[in-house]
Structure 1
Amino acid sequence: MIIPSFLNETLLNSVSLISIDLENSIKSLGLNILNYGVIDKDTDKMELLVQNDREFLQEGIRKYLMSKPMHVIVHVFWSNLSKYSILCNIKFVLDNLDNIFDEDWDFWIISTNKEWLIENYHEEELSIFLLN
């Protein structure tokens, strides 16, 4: 497995590296995945869908995450299935959002309490799903 490239020795101390099947994790939340790897938007769990440039999407993610307690643990996955996903808190995501974007084409942030999921799809599409 590949360690995400932005995780230097200091940052590695702030996360846990995990190897979990992304597709099964998303399906276990009651969501379907389309054949090109994006979550099916045809669901009543869809809270937000926007298409815009990277800065707009980053601001949308920041705004959403800032409404959550910073200590909440999340799971960050990337589309490269050879890469470890990470467990970290929301503060870590906010502090490293540029790096998370740069790490791979697509990424997902899933709350470990399974209340919500953020999907950033490489065609400048941001989706937020409410799971409960």
Structure 2
Amino acid sequence: MIKPSFINNTLLTKVKLTTTDLEKEILGLGLNIESYGVIDQNTNKLYLIVQDDRECLQKKIREYLLNEPAEEQVEIFWSNLNKYSILCEIKFVLQNLDNIFDEDWDFWIVNNRKKWIIENYHEERLSIFNLN
């Protein structure tokens, strides 16, 4: 397994590297996965879908996360399954969102209390699913 490229020794003290199975995680949340690897949009759990440029998508993610406690734990996954996912706090995500976008084609941010999931698909599509 490889660690995300932006995780240097300083940032490594703020995250935990994990090997959680993303597919099992998504299915365990009651969502389905399309054949091309994204979450099936045909669900009543879809809260928001936006197709726009990176700046807009980052703004939408920030807006959503700012309504959550900064110390709330999340897990971030990237489409490269040979890469560790990371456990971190929302404030870490907000501080490192550019790096999270740059790390790989697609990424997912999963709330550790299983309340929501954010999916960024490389065709400039952002989806947020509320699970409660």
Q: Which amino acid aligns with 2:131?
A: L
2: CA distance between counterparts of 1:47 and 1:68? 15
Deviation sequence 1:24-81 (CA, Å, 0-9, x none): 1000000000000010000000000010000000000000001111000000000000
Q: Which amino acid aligns with 1:11?
A: L
Which residue in the other structure is 1:12 paired with?
A: 12
Q: Which amino acid aligns with 1:67?
A: N
Which residue in the other structure is 2:46 paired with?
A: 46
Q: 1:1-132, aligned counterparts within 5 Å?
A: 1-132=1-132
Q: Which amino acid aligns with 1:59?
A: K
1: CA distance between counterparts of 2:68 and 2:31? 22
Name the % identity. Answer: 65
TM-score, normalised relative to structure 2: 0.99
- Once superposed, which parts of structure 1, at least 4 consecutive aligned residues long, lie more than 3 Å away? none
TM-score, normalised relative to structure 1: 0.99
SS at 1:119's partner residue?
strand
SS at 2:83's partner residue?
coil
SS at 1:63's partner residue?
helix
Q: Which amino acid aligns with 2:130?
A: L
Deviation sequence 1:79-112 (CA, Å, 0-9, x none): 0000000000000000000000000000000000
Deviation at 1:20, TM superposition (A): 1.2
1: CA distance between counterparts of 2:108 and 2:15? 16
Q: Which amino acid aligns with 1:4?
A: P
Structure 1 portions without partners, runs of 5+: none
Structure 2 portions without partners, runs of 5+: none
1: CA distance between counterparts of 2:116 and 2:20? 18
